[in-house]
Amino acid sequence: MMRWRGAMLDISRHFFDAEFIKKTISALAVFDYNTLHLHLTDDQGWRLESKEFPLLHTVGSIRKQSQNNHGLLEPTYDGIEHSGYLTHHDVREIISHAHSIGIRVIPEINIPGHTGALLAAYPQFGINQNPVEVSGRWGISNHLLRPFSETFEFLTKVFQEVAELFPSEYIHVGGDESLINNWLLDPEVVAWMKSQGFVTAKEVFLYFMQEVEKIINGLGKKMVTWDDAFAFDPDQATQATVMSWRGAAIAQIALDHGREVIQGPVLPTYFDYSQEVSTTEPLAIGGPITLDDVLAFKPLQGATGVQFQLWSEYIQSPVHAEYMMWPRAAALAYRCWGDGKDFETYFGQRRAQLEALGVMIREIDPGQRVNIAHLGIGEYHRGFDTAQIMQFLEESAIAGEVAEFN
Ligand code: ACM
């Protein structure tokens, strides 16, 4: 079987508690998943207790309100506070349950971008040291950590605490969607760059990720990053495992450069995209990504694993999260490491176990389907189709760096 059979749950954009995470682990185990990747931090929330830096969870876990329309539109907000974080006790319970059924839990602490919640707690580590609020808005932000020694000393302690809590051999450090030219807007960063002989923001990014890799490796762990951190410069990037989200071309280049690769391409592994474009579906970032899209996926030869992503900007409730996951998570398992029978037989043999757990499944037959459109954020919105999102990614500043690979 494939070595990394993964599921990613974003508990930053909306918090999902330990009970739900344990239930999800039980459901994933039915389909021989062996890895749960927890996206614990982002601009919209820091969701892990820190004994060393308590403001991370006391300040970083609370936002005043949340955007209730699509992230590419002018935002409107719900005016409702959102909060929540996992305590160390929660994490130990989650890991103990996961290990008892063959699943490892990999933490992600996202740096140097996607750091709005961190900087709301400790603004001294951010560019220009401006006051920052935990964001209620979806999309890519300008927040960026400074590349200074104080930042790396702080990150060493943060990752040390994380490494002690999570026994997994991997720590994921994000590295995606960092708007690195913002470093050039901070006079102290620019002065520091001159003193170090750095000319471009890209050089600073490479340096930043190398420093973080030293921290992670120093803790006896392997680093994982999203493919952005590799694609900036494949020849100078860190040796980290590459989690490839922008398609097979980057994944193949990473394989050719000898990196360990986990494939999680937007199409078809972003399960926050709707399964159908219809007024009966809740608001989603885009879509459709159908069951057939998932069943048609072909992993690259040489990839260590495959993983689906459940980002949660538009997903507030466990029922909604499950509706997005099932049956697509079963289809990905069947396609990538399942046995040879047809999908209906494969799923049919295991569905009673999902039902016994009380999991909400989006029925394939529309006549049997529960309509949960009203549980999503805001009014139904067609969202953006997958091609439009891919175009947006290509045109955006971060993706521009890797346009040659697409
Ligand atoms: C990602 O979707 N930014 C990994």
Sorted by where each begins, the domain ranges of the chain are: 4-398
Instruction: Give pLDDT, residue 278.
Output: 82
CB 333 within 8 A of CB 32: yes
Q: Can you read off the two tokens belonging to residue 66? A: 């949340």
Instruction: Give pLDDT, residue 280.
Output: 83
Q: How far is the CA of 167 from the centre of ligand 1 (A)?
A: 24
CB 13 within 8 A of CB 347: no
Q: How does DSSP classify residue 71?
A: T
Within 6 A (CB) of ligand 1 lie 176-177, 226, 245
- In this structure, the residue with its CA closest to atom 2 of ligand 1 is 245
- In this structure, the residue with its CA closest to atom 3 of ligand 1 is 176
Q: How far is the CA of 22 from the centre of ligand 1 (A)?
A: 24
Residue 45 and residue 25: Cα distance in Å, rounded? 22
For the CA of 245, the nearest atom of ligand 1: 4
Q: How confident is the model at residue 406 (pLDDT cuts 50, 70, 90)?
A: very low
Q: Can you read off the two tokens belonging to residue 109? A: 């602490």
Describe the crossing of helices 328-337 and 318-325 by its angle, rounded to 10 degrees: 40
For the CA of 174, the nearest atom of ligand 1: 4
Cβ neighbour number for residue 388 with a 10 Å cutoff: 12
Instruction: Give pLDDT, residue 392.
Output: 62
Instruction: Give pLDDT, residue 404.
Output: 31
Describe the crossing of helices 343-357 and 18-30 by its angle, rounded to 10 degrees: 150
Label residues 66-87 b or e (16+ Cβ within 10 Å = b): bbbbbeeeebeeeeeebeebbe
CA dist 197 → 97, 98, 180, 201, 241 (Å): 49, 47, 17, 12, 29
For the CA of 266, the nearest atom of ligand 1: 2
Instruction: Give pLDDT, residue 399.
Output: 38
Q: How confident is the model at residue 277 (pLDDT cuts 50, 70, 90)?
A: confident
CB 365 within 8 A of CB 327: no
Least confident segment among 5-19, 159-173, 381-395: 381-395
Residue 57 and residue 62: Cα distance in Å, rounded? 8
Q: How far is the CA of 69 from the centre of ligand 1 (A)?
A: 19
Indicate which residue of 10, 37, 39, 42 is catalytic: 42
Instruction: Give pLDDT, residue 379.
Output: 54
Q: How confident is the model at residue 389 (pLDDT cuts 50, 70, 90)?
A: low
Instruction: Give pLDDT, residue 63.
Output: 97
CATH T-level assignment (fold) for domain 4-398: TIM Barrel (3.20.20)
Q: How far is the CA of 262 from the centre of ligand 1 (A)?
A: 13
Mutate to test the pocket of ligand 1, among 13, 111, 245 (most ligand atoms within 8 A of CB): 245
Indicate which residue of 10, 49, 108, 177 is catalytic: 177
Instruction: Give pLDDT, residue 71.
Output: 87
Q: How confident is the model at residue 49 (pLDDT cuts 50, 70, 90)?
A: very high
For the CA of 176, the nearest atom of ligand 1: 3
42 a catalytic residue: yes
Q: How far is the CA of 225 from the centre of ligand 1 (A)?
A: 10
